[in-house]
Copies of this chain bind each other. A is one copy, B any other.
Amino acid sequence: MSTEEKLNQLRRLTAELANLGGIQALLDWDQQVNMPRGGMEDRSEQAALVAGIMYDRATSPQLGTLIEDLASEIPDINADDDLAREIKVAKRDFEHISRIPREKLIEFVMVTSRAHEVWVQARENNDFPSFAPHLTRIVELRREQAELFKPFDHPYDPLLDEYEPGMKTAEVKAIFDALRPQQVALLQRIAQAEQVDNSFIREKYDIDSQEKFGRFIATRMGYDWNRGRMDLAPHPFTTSFGYGDVRITTRYMETDGMSSLFSTMHETGHALYDQGLNPKYRHTSLGRPTSLAVHESQSRFWENLIGRSQAFWQFAFPIAQMLFPEHLGNLSIEQFYRGINRVEPSLIRIEADEATYNLHIMLRFEIETGLMEGKLETKDLPEIWNSRMQAYLGVTPPNDSRGVLQDVHWSGGMIGYFPTYALGNLISVQWWEKMVADHPNIPDEIASGDFSTVLAWMRENVHRYASRYDPQDLVQKITGSRITSEPYMRYLEQKYSQIYRL
Give A contacts to B, CB under 8 Å. Answer: 15-16, 19-20, 22-23, 26-27, 30, 34-43, 45-46, 49-50, 53, 224-229, 241-245
Contact = CB atoms under 8 A, between A and B. Distances in A.
B16 A49 contact: yes
Given A19-B42, A23-B49, A38-B224, 20 more contacts: A19-B45, A26-B27, A26-B30, A30-B30, A34-B229, A36-B227, A36-B245, A37-B227, A37-B244, A38-B227, A38-B228, A38-B243, A39-B227, A39-B244, A41-B244, A42-B244, A43-B242, A45-B242, A46-B242, A53-B53
A58 to B, nearest CB: 14
A396 B118 CA distance: 65
Contact of A26 (B26, B38, B53): B26
A38 B244 contact: yes
A244 B36 contact: yes
How many copies of this chain does one complex carry?
2
Q: What 10 A-B pairs have minimum CB-CB distances, sorted nearest first? A: A42-B242, A39-B245, A38-B244, A38-B227, A19-B46, A38-B226, A37-B226, A39-B244, A19-B49, A19-B45
A46 B30 contact: no
A245 B26 CA distance: 15
Q: Is the interface of A mostly helix, strand, loop or mixed?
A: helix
15 contacts: A19-B49, A23-B23, A23-B27, A26-B26, A26-B27, A34-B229, A36-B227, A37-B227, A37-B244, A38-B245, A39-B241, A42-B241, A43-B242, A43-B245, A46-B241
Contacts of A35: 245
A282 B226 CA distance: 38
Contacts of A27: 23, 26
A500 to B, nearest CB: 43
Contacts of A16: 49
A166 to B, nearest CB: 29
A41 B225 contact: no
A229 B36 contact: yes
Contacts of A225: 36
B36 A23 contact: no
Contacts of A41: 242, 244
Contacts of A36: 225-229, 244-245
A49 B19 CA distance: 8
B38 A50 contact: no
A44 B441 CA distance: 43
